[in-house]
Chains A and B, each alone.
Chain A
Amino acid sequence: MGRFVLRRLLQSVVVLLGVTLVVFLLLQLVPGDPVRVALGTRFDQQTYDALRERSGLDRPLVVQYLSYVGHALTGDLGVSFRSGQPVTTIVLERLPATLSLAVTAVLLALLVAFPLGVLSAVRSGSFVDHAARVFSQFGVSVPDFWTGIMGILLFAGVLGWLPPSGYVALTDDPAGWASHVALPATAVGLVTASILTRFIRSSVLEVLAEDYVRTAEAKGLRRRVVVVRHVLRNALIPVVTVVGVQLASLVGGVQLASLVGGVIVIEVLFAWPGIGRLTYDAVQARDYPVLQGAVLFVATLFLLTNLLVDVLYARLDPRIRLR
């Protein structure tokens, strides 16, 4: 297991190197000159050249890239064009907001999707099943920003129970954090819950039709024992992957259901100072170093989540041995 994790981490480094290359090259294709954006509308050629030289933007691309990677290895992702702060600091500051939102959303989603999906499969064709299917169809059809806006209108506007937007750190004020995270997490979690409900339902249905479930029933085990001991563990194996992908994509700001949008839109909508919001602002300001840094962080989190999923997989399924 230890060797497996180590090897996977080494593989991740290679992937991350690829990510930096792709991001670096993509940014070269984006129209607009970051130096001009940084200087505003009134500047002379001398100031322009000076900043260009200081940022290293006058050097050949290969040199720029190698120097970027070299610094990145020591944790130095450069400084923001806009604020002059180190990128690493900026991104790390934003990380707790994004992580706490993504994890809360996925937990909320699981809290709904797990019982609903299992019940809907075990009592397939029943009222619960139909209700669950309507719910998940609704959930994947409605964009999360719309649910977010409706949530703000109802719970912040009409009822006044929750703040409409903003962020309080969990470590500073847990209650304040909870009241602020409730609406965005629900908006995002609803989509995730719908995806997971469908997935869990079909996974459980599939396992219910397995021969070994009939074997368990033939033994005269109670229905609950059959479901919990024989069905759930097998059904959960594929679900772990989907939960992992959901979590990773929430962190990454790319949602499976709606490739555009996802957490970036939600973070902007709720003025949630996470990485999604950071990415959005960095794109607007053509703040290349920050954009690169944010993408690199997201990619790292994605890879770590995948690693975690693989380790969990092996724990659930004895047929998989990690080597």
Chain B
Amino acid sequence: MNAPVVPSPRAAGDAPVLAIDDLTVTLGTRNGPARAVAGVDWSVAPGRTLALVGESGSGKSMTVLAATGLAPRSATVTGRVRLLGRELTTMSEPERRRWRGRHVGFVFQDPMTTLNPVLTVGRQVTEACEEHLGMSRRQARARAVELLDLVGIPAPDRRVDAHPHQFSGGMRQRVVIAMALACEPELLIADEPTTALDVTTQAQIVELVADLRRRLGTAVVWITHDLGVVAGIADTVAVMYGGRIVEQGPVDAVFGAPGHPYTRALLAARPRPGAAGEELAAIPGAPPSPLALPDGCAFWPRCPVRGDARCAHELPPLTPITPGHRVRTFYPLPDGPSTGDGPSTGDGPSTGDGPSIGGGPSIGGGPATGDGRRVSGDREQLHREDR
């Protein structure tokens, strides 16, 4: 699945739409505090797309939820978050709610559950416009028809009064996108918007968002574990692991010359259409629990480079290796061959040796792209070995 690379309508260097600085989120759980996000900073400029990449539980969703005031009540959030120049963290709750509703649109993962089953889609798409733009019920309905048309829903003037269960998954996600764009927000946050969809629909949704961004000049934060999508649509990428950013930079730099062993492993674990029949690479072990994060590098226990005691006890700083490209490791590998094409060769960390032991989840989210059958085949094999 290769969405076209979209040129950004505005020059980079514009004041960022959303800038996050030193964001830390601690969740109060039954088993004690869990540090879900630690010291994260990134920003996204108008018309640009930032991809947040990482495994489940790496803190990527929690980062945007906490930044926009949607974190669960048990969460303690510290750091600074500026949305269109306004500091969100010091705002009163009603003010933050209005600011968020007016300027940020959200597309969540599963369109089957993000829409309210008992309200018509038209009502849901533009109810925020009544709240934030002072539209009347009738204006809002007319606007909903426009928006449904914009996202490619056929016969929008009839469908506007239909309920969510009368739409397919892909169409529902279009409705959700229409809803996110209703108040013409400056920022669109897409939290794994294609994960719950089938592959053909995924491509359409990716295309749609890329197209809308081009036409509307909206900044996009795209949370995903699908590296194929990232390469296609993002300008910059931030890779998260264990609640921290481990690598960050322009997509070309990060994908072309990944500096962090984790990024390299991720890229190696990506299923490739040309490599059918090969065993899929997986990263051995499982991601760390946010309840018990190590002092040093969180990736150390699974790291193929495995450095020394320093890695285990000292947190590597996020260091620039080229302008705009930062890596959190003591052992950056800036010039290694891209593991994105062809099986990994000698000097890089070979993560492809042997099947994934210990049942760590395959990074890249399973059959998200490409050769899904191969993945399930591997799983079956693993199960057989278990018995």
- Write the nearest CB–CB distance from A28 to chain B, whole angstroms: 50
User: In the assembly, what is the distance between CA of A197 and CA of B46, in Å?
Assistant: 49
Pick the residue among B70, B101, B163, B176 that contacts A319 (CB under 8 A).
B163
A316 at the interface (CB under 8 A from B): yes
B108 at the interface (CB under 8 A from A): yes
Stretch from A32-40, A180-188, A227-235, A283-291 contacting the other chain = A227-235
B68 touching A218 by the CB < 8 A rule? yes
A222 touching B131 by the CB < 8 A rule? yes
B163 touching A220 by the CB < 8 A rule? no
Mask: chain B, 162-180; 1 = CB below 8 Å from A; 0 = not: 0101000000000010010
User: In the assembly, what is the distance between CA of A216 and CA of B176, in Å?
Assistant: 11
B110 touching A211 by the CB < 8 A rule? yes
A219 touching B117 by the CB < 8 A rule? no
A89 at the interface (CB under 8 A from B): no
A317 touching B115 by the CB < 8 A rule? no
B119 touching A229 by the CB < 8 A rule? yes
B163 touching A211 by the CB < 8 A rule? no
- Write the nearest CB–CB distance from B115 to chain A, whole angstroms: 6
B113 touching A318 by the CB < 8 A rule? no
B310 at the interface (CB under 8 A from A): no
Mask: chain A, 186-228; 1 = CB below 8 Å from B; 0 = not: 0000000000000000000000001110111111111001000
User: In the assembly, what is the distance between CA of A220 and CA of B102, in Å?
Assistant: 7
A215 touching B106 by the CB < 8 A rule? yes
Pick the residue among B68, B97, B102, B119 that contacts A222 (CB under 8 A).
B97
B373 at the interface (CB under 8 A from A): no
Pick the residue among A212, A221, A237 that contacts B115 (CB under 8 A).
A212
CB under 8 Å from chain A, chain B span 118-136 = 118-119, 124, 127-128, 131-132
Determine chain A's interface SS by DSSP, over half rule: helix
With a CB–CB cut-off of 8 A, which chain B residues contact A217?
A: 70, 97
With a CB–CB cut-off of 8 A, which chain A residues contact B179?
A: 215, 219
Mask: chain A, 28-62; 1 = CB below 8 Å from B; 0 = not: 00000000000000000000000000000000000
With a CB–CB cut-off of 8 A, which chain B residues contact A221?
A: 97, 101, 127-128, 131
CB under 8 Å from chain A, chain B span 65-81 = 68, 70
Pick the residue among B94, B98, B99, B116 that contacts A216 (CB under 8 A).
B116
B131 touching A225 by the CB < 8 A rule? yes
Number of interface residues of B (CB under 8 A): 29
B114 at the interface (CB under 8 A from A): yes
A220 touching B98 by the CB < 8 A rule? yes
B306 at the interface (CB under 8 A from A): no
User: In the assembly, what is the distance between CA of A210 and CA of B176, in Å?
Assistant: 15
A319 (CB) vs chain B CBs: closest residue: B165
CB under 8 Å from chain B, chain A span 142-161 = none
With a CB–CB cut-off of 8 A, which chain A residues contact B110?
A: 211
CB under 8 Å from chain A, chain B span 163-211 = 163, 165, 176, 179
Q: Which of A215, A217, A225, A237 has the largest count of B CB atoms less than 10 A from its CB?
A: A215
- Write the nearest CB–CB distance from A252 to chain B, whole angstroms: 31
B101 touching A219 by the CB < 8 A rule? yes
User: In the assembly, what is the distance between CA of A156 and CA of B97, in Å?
Assistant: 53
CB under 8 Å from chain B, chain A span 304-323 = 316-319
B120 (CB) vs chain A CBs: closest residue: A318
Pick the residue among A218, A230, A234, A317 that contacts B106 (CB under 8 A).
A218
User: In the assembly, what is the distance between CA of A218 and CA of B118, in Å?
Assistant: 18
With a CB–CB cut-off of 8 A, which chain A residues contact B106?
A: 215, 218-219
User: In the assembly, what is the distance between CA of A233 and CA of B128, in Å?
Assistant: 19
B100 at the interface (CB under 8 A from A): yes
CB under 8 Å from chain A, chain B span 129-167 = 131-132, 163, 165
Interface pairs A-B: 10 shortest CB-CB: A220-B101, A211-B113, A219-B128, A218-B106, A212-B116, A318-B163, A220-B97, A211-B114, A215-B114, A319-B165
